[in-house]
Chains A and B, each alone.
Chain A
């Protein structure tokens, strides 16, 4: 299968008063047409920056320092803003965490969706634009679109606003949808609806989606493949089944074990000791080593490569090296249903 988006050894640095923050370090991944790839990690691990790098929405202080972004077969790494503008919306578009800040509070919802359509197809007649807006509003599950066309964002609830943002994002039929924590600001019941909608749209339109989240529960609901990020690197990547039922990286174990849903009846939740390292001066070797109870001596000296487990499942930990001592996964006895 031809990949829609290919990222090769991408490195992004952000200048700050304290020094250069290495926000994304040597990340490689692929996105195939029609799949949902989830990127999971703690705050500050670089998952949002990775998304913004793909869209080229980085702040001025940030710079791509190495690697390539190949979208739809074209290398867009060095694209200027003018060239990017042709791609945004058509090739990829983005949904942000907070729908209220993404929408203009002084313009009716329908008009904001119409604007997105008109920009991509300036020759379309007003009537056709209106029909397309109604069609989009129906697609994202906004009922009574004709009446709601004229309503303002403040008339809408959080879930409805997020639906409107999705309608805008889908206006020009993008091939790739980047969703940066689309449900974090929403209630659980609304969250479930939005996630179902995301999945529906993805099957209906065949849009490939990158879903950024910190919630392993949310990710389980709609991801085909999952990438776990830590300290600017991808430490484990695989299909959802592989990562959830057979995780190999100690950090993934730690994340799973700290979830109360998987620890019913346990006396204490397992925690990951310590803090994530600062990325201004990342430690030599594996960034997770000092928090890792299974750390080997080599973890402190050398960054582990991605070890292959299956054709789709890779993890960056020295524990997978043939010379490493055998360690049974602590997740073995977790008893997934």
Chain B
């Protein structure tokens, strides 16, 4: 069984069926890029994985543990969902940083709240057994993450004083601060000026390692080609084509994939 298993996801909004029986799997350390035109269901799929939408059908599991099963009501309870969400991190198109907190506090807010709760529940949070130790660890890690995304000197700034690219890098660090098993990106560069997309894509590229599993919904085809281990092309709520970047992007078999990609190639050399 693969590390991340997504099976038979079906999601409708009213009468519109947005996802029609979608399934894919991903091994630990792999990067999956989901491409496709607007309205194909890419973002909805990602939101289902993060439990921001509840699919009508389907099963989601990570590391063999079933986190969501539409037919099992005990898995759809709010408390359960909140716990299971922590397996996933999410980076939004619009960053969604908390404007009233500094960059540093954006990173440590949720981990601190979680540490307090975990310590009360089972006396430990990532090895720390007292709140003081947990906070020290959380803060040390936050500083490290900021270094990783190249924003150490912006630690005490408020998000409004940062460029879009910097805000998105903070958002990535914030998601990483909770040690998610799978990190999801929802068109992370779509709200950015072209000259700022590079810095964000480079950070994402830099995260690629043997133990970070990522799912990236993107319109950056060349990024998908260079970074992803696996590419899915979605159209009208189904997976039209999937495979390695060489298979899907270089030699697409489906006419729809070919048509979609030809629009990108039109302007690139």
Q: Do A and B bind each other?
A: no
